[in-house]
Amino acid sequence: MLEHLPESDWKEWQRLAPILLNRFCESVVTAAAKFRTEGDSGHERFLALYRFVAESNRKIANVFDDRRRSNALFKIATAVSTEIMCAEELASFSEETRECVRKICDVG
């Protein structure tokens, strides 16, 4: 397991993170629109929307809050496991980093 994220991978994570955050937030906003029509009552729709936004916020926090080089591998792995980061984006990191992320995610 890597002790420290290589500098080039840290820079790549710093470049990708705002792109991933924006894309994820756009998908949340788009998905939230469905709550206008799904459910039997306004209250049920509100509760479902509230749960959805809370879960989305938890995902955002797990990936993007407290972004430091010392926890970057775990943040990247969380982005992969929650499908915030796609395989092509993961491929932009070094083989060593990708292997560590795969071990953390336990996806082989």
- Give φ, ψ of 39 to 5 degrees: 115, 160
Question: CA–CA separation, 61 vs 75, rounded Å?
Answer: 10
Phi-psi region of 61 (alpha: psi -120 to 50; beta: other; left: phi over 0): alpha
Q: pLDDT-derived band of residue 107, with 50, 70 and 90 as boundaries?
A: low
66, 78, 14, 27: CA torsion to nearest 10: -100
Tens of pLDDT along 13-55? 999 999 999 999 999 999 998 888 766 788 888 999 999 999 9
Contact 63, 78 (CB under 8 A): yes
- Read off the tokens for 21: 């955050």
Global pTM?
0.88
Contact 52, 31 (CB under 8 A): yes
